Amino acid sequence: MRKGPTTRVRIREITGSTSTEHRDDLATEEPLEIRLTAADGSRRTVAITMRTPGHDFELAAGFLHGEGLVGAGDIAAIAYCTDEDLPPEARHNTVTVRLRGPIPDLPALDRHFLTSSACGVCGSASLEVLRSRCAAVPRGRLDLTPEFLYALPDALRAAQGVFGKTGGLHAAGLFAADGRLVAVREDVGRHNAVDKLVGWAALTGGLPLAEHVLMVSGRASYEIMQKALAAGIPVVCAVSAPSSLAVELAREFGLTLVGFLRGERCNVYAGSERIL
């Protein structure tokens, strides 16, 4: 049976000296395996990540794009896997990305069998890899006011439908320069939520996102900044703190990074020239 973004369980709630039993909605967490299939029929698993079901094809496309493995133009089709080696209950947890050409021969593939923030690569090495495949983001025409920034967290929160039911999901929202919420994605993994957004843009021909702002519900990590850079997003805002490597990446590649965006205050860690 294919699982949805929420799972209902029965719980016992204790308040003071009394207790009641009722049902509660939880954010679903399931593994997703991403497989590549080349034009010659060869196959390879490139990632297994824990995610909230929903927008799985976008997640696969966004992950591949953000890691510099496969561009949107290289993808012929994406589908749930129906291979005979999978039991029926696992087929909606496995996505096959069919390529127009061969599977890329990249050493980076070797570290993606289980994705996590602990990749075993030091910060300077990670930045060096980015330098080889990503250019700095141009200054562009994006000029933002503090009032624009202050409105983002509430707009993102209002669009988090699954979070409203469960209270247990991260969100990533893409905003236009006029403050309009273009798209929002939710997931138990903050990186997955960003991958889903980038994958949506990649599959609809929307990259690069040069005049958009990314707002995330948690902290701003190196991985999130890397994905934003690969998608051409010039401004990243976060409710919580950035990491040191996230700030270093933003400053080197010309991104604007805003953290602790709550109420009518925030910290600008890089790229303050885009904020009037």
* DSSP result, 51-113: E-SSSHHHHHHHHHHHTTS--GGGEEEEEE---TTS-GGGGGGEEEEEESSPPP--GGGGG-S
Residue 82: the pLDDT is 81
pLDDT at 174 over 60: yes
- For residue 77, being part of any structural domain is answered with no
The region of weakest confidence among 16-30, 161-175, 205-219, 248-262 is 161-175
Tell me what pLDDT residue 148 has.
Answer: 98
| Domain of 159, in residue numbers | 146-274
| CATH number for 245 | 3.40.140.10
Q: Higher-confidence residue: 93 or 2?
A: 93
What mean pLDDT comes out for the span 64-82? 91
- Convert the pLDDT of each residue in 5-15 to its tens digit: 888 899 999 99
Give the Cβ contact number of residue 22 at 10 Å.
Answer: 8
* Number of domains, the chain: 1
pLDDT at 167: 67
**Where residue 120 falls among pLDDT bands split at 50, 70, 90?**
very low
Does 197 map to a domain?
yes
Residue 119 annotated as catalytic: yes
**pLDDT the model gives residue 163:** 63
CA atoms of 129 and 228, how far apart (whole Å) = 15
Please tell me which residue in 81, 119, 122, 266 is annotated as part of the active site: 119
Collapse the DSSP code of 209 into the 3-class scheme (helix H, G, I; strand E, B; otherwise coil) and give the result.
Answer: coil
Most confident of 91-95, 132-136, 172-176: 172-176
User: Which pLDDT score is estimated for 113?
Assistant: 46
Residue 54 lies in a domain: no
256: pLDDT confidence band, cut at 50, 70 and 90? very high
Q: Give residue 237's pLDDT.
A: 98
191 located within any domain:
yes
pLDDT at 165: 67
Annotated binding site: 260-265
- Does residue 52 sit within a domain? no
Chain mean pLDDT for the chain: 89
Percent of the chain residues topping a pLDDT of 90: 70
Has residue 119 got a pLDDT over 80? no
> What does the pLDDT look like over 198-220, one tens digit per residue?
999 999 999 999 999 999 998 99
User: 122 lies in a domain?
Assistant: no
Of 166-170, 184-188, 272-276, the least confident: 166-170
DSSP-derived letter for residue 262 is: E
Residue 49, in any domain of the structure: no
Secondary structure element (H or E) that encloses residue 248, with its range: helix 244-253
Would you say residue 132 lies in a domain?
no
Residues in the chain: 276
pLDDT in the model for residue 261: 97
